[in-house]
Amino acid sequence: MPFYSTMAETEIACPAMDVYSYITNPANWEGGRPVTDPGWTLVPPGRKPVDDGWQEGRGNRWAILDAEPGRRWIVRSRGVDGASSVTITYSFSEVDGMTHVFRHMEIEVSEHAAVSEHARAAFACSPPNRELVVTIKHALENARRVRLPDIPLPDVPVPASEKQTA
């Protein structure tokens, strides 16, 4: 069976476990796209996939092939006829609070599937794959913005020993 593959990567300014927790929680996905509700807040660190997969509303069954929290997550969905599959691998590496996310999607299709050369070329440079990791990046980084309350802070006296003299 022919394989088609696409890859994307980005840097996200938050810990690898936060990125992993967001990506591995099916509640953060809708129709194969990440949820970007502006009211979203960080999912609790350490949340892991439940069971060995999940079922989507349109019938696709996803199985978790490998789960190493904060490092790697691999999932696969097989077509109803068993003649096609999609495997998605996420890899994470963290350095100084920045997480490098690498997403590899591989689609296996039946030799009898009608896939035109144009479709193959379009899939090979698929912008949706790149847009997806950027969407995840924005969702996570925007959630980490801290809003301070509009309450004046009390004046704290500075000890004389810490005051600078001119």
**Tens of pLDDT, residues 23-64:** 887 667 665 666 554 333 333 333 344 456 666 555 567 778
Ramachandran angles phi, psi of 50, nearest 5° = -95, 135
Return the DSSP state at 111. Answer: T
Average pLDDT of the chain to the nearest whole number: 69
pLDDT, residue 122, reads: 45
pLDDT, residue 45, reads: 38
Query: What does the domain layout of the chain look like in residue ranges?
Result: 3-145
Between the alpha carbon of residue 95 and those of residues 14, 112, 125, the distances in Å are: 10, 45, 28
| Its pTM surpasses 0.75 | no
Task: Give the pLDDT band of residue 89 (cuts 50, 70, 90).
Answer: very high
pLDDT, residue 37, reads: 46
Architecture of domain 3-145: 2-Layer Sandwich (3.30)
